[in-house]
Structure 1
Amino acid sequence: LGNWKKSHLEILEALKKGKEVVDIQVENALLKRALGYEFVEVTKELTDAGLLVTKEVTKQQAPDTTAAIFWLKNRKPNEWRDKSQTELSGGIKVSNPYEGLTEEELRKLASRDG
């Protein structure tokens, strides 16, 4: 299939454009969910005259914090990612009491401590 798509570039381009359309739709749905939205709920009942609308109610879908967090982490990662980076400056000084001792002196100290 991959080779066929490569030899038929017009099909490959059409498939890519189809993916882009769906990607945009998903992005829009995620944003809508993150912000919350209003919708009309329609109730229909079956009567002798057929299916009739009996009630229309405007409802609110509350914003979804998970969708908002996901959106922000991906759109503004420097400000919203979980892992933050801290840069430290300066040096670390390590004091070594055995600095300057010869191998023989170190061996004597090691045998004495054992």
Structure 2
Amino acid sequence: MADFFGVSEKTVNAWKKAHPEFLQSTTRGKMMADAEVADRLYQRALGYSHPAVKIMQFEGAPVVVPYTEHYPPDTPAASLWLRNRQPWKWRDRTQHEIMGENGGPIESISTVTNDPIEAAKIYAKLMNL
């Protein structure tokens, strides 16, 4: 916006502080732009169709042929939409909390053993088996 008005960013920020209606207007503009992008992302995620025309030539004369252009659903767009709208369901990483006995801290193992039976006992204790 500063470039458009030919001023510095600092000046635009001062205008926002001095003129609440200017701040509200810029905020509304950002919200409208965000809504438009969200709508387009949504359409891309689901796939969409729209009327279009092809212009061809037949025996030297232009011919306009109407048709419906179809764009199939876009998996990355759907994934982005879902990860942002419902992160608790769709996030890429899941968190696992590991606890010791009765929900307490995990006890450290101070001795390393080569005995498979002893190692199994330690493992079973750590896993509360």
Q: TM-score, length-normalised on structure 2?
A: 0.63
**Corresponding residue for residue 110 of structure 1:** none
Gaps of 5+ in 1: 47-51, 98-114
Residue 24 in structure 1 maps to residue 24 in structure 2: no
| 1:56 paired residue among 59, 66, 87 | 66
Q: Which has the higher contact order (CA 8 A, sep 6+)?
A: 1
Of residues 73, 77, 83, the one that matches 2:93 is 83
Structure-to-structure mapping, 1:1-114, within 5 angstroms? 1-44=12-55, 54-90=64-100, 91-96=106-111
Shift of 1:96: 4.5
Q: Deviations over 1:32-75 (max 9, x none)?
A: 000001111113469xxxxx871111122100111011111111
Question: Aligned partners of 1:53, 1:3: CA distance in 2, in Å?
Answer: 57
Alignment root-mean-square deviation, CA: 2.3
* TM-score, scaled to structure 1: 0.70
SS at 1:13 equivalent: helix
Equivalent position amino acid for 2:45 in 1:
A
Amino acid at match of 1:26: V
Shift of 1:92: 2.9
**Rg larger for:** 1
Identity %: 39
- Asked if 1 retains the 8 angstrom alpha-carbon contact of 2:46 and 2:74, the reply is yes
Consecutive aligned runs of 4 or more in structure 1 exceeding 4 Å deviation: none
